[in-house]
């Protein structure tokens, strides 16, 4: 199998990723029609480009179907149990920086910390007969974080997009989502808990730990990492 490099095929990460490689003398180009997800690598020998959704890259790395991949730290840690045994972070790329946070309505003036949230959650259950709902797509990370911080009386509801809208739409009481400028939270009258930072995320170049390579591809890997100045 040729050395395969996976990069995001669309969205905010795609362009910045191409710029990061270009600044190091490696050109990533989409080949074929604009909507066709195939690509080429110039400036490094023996490397195939694979264009994938940022969310799918962790799984492809873990399965050994690609050898290198660029995606967010958040997506790797959410998607892969024991991620350290499956992928190795080689370099933070300095873009795609965002914080995964727990946020509650601005109107909850007495709720500033996780302890406050825990208390409100217990009262909420007593008053409403069901658990306080936290909307998120980051189930693994949020569960782990709340367990470590002793918050137990809640239920996660799945939200794959527009998560900040779930509180206004009355499908959740709180949320856990990515924020960067904070504008989306503010626009939806939500505030981050003082100790509600779950994870700081950044676009990162990962190497698959369990993707076998022929000697020639091993050389291609060494050449590419050398050109990029990482590894």
Ligand X SMILES: O=P(O)(O)OC[C@H]1O[C@H](OP(=O)(O)OP(=O)(O)O)[C@H](O)[C@@H]1O
Ligand Y SMILES: Nc1ncnc2c1ncn2[C@@H]1O[C@H](COP(=O)(O)OP(=O)(O)OP(=O)(O)O)[C@@H](O)[C@H]1O
* 68, 3 Cβ separation under 8 angstroms: yes
CB atoms within 10 A of CB 193: 20
Q: What are phi and psi of 212, to 5 degrees?
A: -65, 145
Place of tokens 């499908």: 171
Report the partner that residue 177 touches, choosing among ligand X, ligand Y, none (CB closer than 5 to 8 A by kind): ligand X
Handedness of CA 118, 120, 121, 122 (dihedral sign): positive
Report the partner that residue 183 touches, choosing among ligand X, ligand Y, none (CB closer than 5 to 8 A by kind): ligand X
User: Which CB sits closer to ligand Y, 203 or 220?
Assistant: 203
C-alpha dist (Å) from residue 64 to 103, 204, 205, 207: 36, 17, 15, 10
User: Which CB sits closer to ligand X, 49 or 176?
Assistant: 176
Q: Could you tell me how far CA 178 lies from the centroid of its own chain?
A: 9
Which positions touch ligand Y (CB under 6 A)?
10-13, 53-55, 72, 74-75, 96, 98, 178, 180, 201
User: Which CB sits closer to ligand X, 21 or 138?
Assistant: 138
Closest separation between CB of residue 203 and ligand Y, Å?
7
Report the partner that residue 176 touches, choosing among ligand X, ligand Y, none (CB closer than 5 to 8 A by kind): none
Closest separation between CB of residue 165 and ligand X, Å?
8
* 169, 176 Cβ separation under 8 angstroms: no
Closest separation between CB of residue 181 and ligand Y, Å?
7
Closest separation between CB of residue 113 and ligand X, Å?
21
């Amino acid at each position: 199998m040729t050395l395969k490099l996976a990069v995001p095929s669309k969205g905010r990460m795609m362009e910045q990723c191409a710029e990061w490689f270009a600044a190091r003398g490696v050109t990533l180009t989409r080949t074929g029609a604009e909507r066709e997800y195939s690509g080429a690598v110039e400036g490094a020998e023996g490397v195939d480009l694979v264009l994938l959704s940022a969310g799918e890259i962790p799984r492809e790395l873990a399965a050994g179907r690609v050898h290198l991949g660029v995606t967010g730290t958040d997506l790797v840690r959410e998607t892969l149990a024991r991620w350290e045994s499956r992928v190795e972070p080689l370099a933070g790329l300095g873009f795609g920086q965002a914080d995964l946070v727990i946020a509650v309505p601005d109107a909850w003036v007495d709720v500033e910390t996780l302890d406050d949230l825990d208390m409100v959650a217990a009262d909420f259950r007593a008053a409403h007969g069901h658990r306080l709902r936290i909307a998120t797509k980051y189930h693994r990370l949020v569960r782990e974080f709340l367990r470590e911080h002793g918050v137990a009386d809640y239920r996660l509801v799945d939200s794959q997009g527009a998560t900040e809208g779930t509180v206004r739409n009355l499908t959740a009481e709180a949320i856990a989502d990515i924020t960067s400028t904070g504008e989306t939270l503010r626009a939806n009258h939500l505030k981050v808990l003082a100790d509600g930072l779950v994870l700081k995320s950044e676009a990162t170049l990962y190497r698959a730990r369990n993707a076998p390579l022929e000697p020639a591809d091993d050389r291609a890997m060494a050449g590419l990492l050398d050109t990029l100045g990482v590894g």
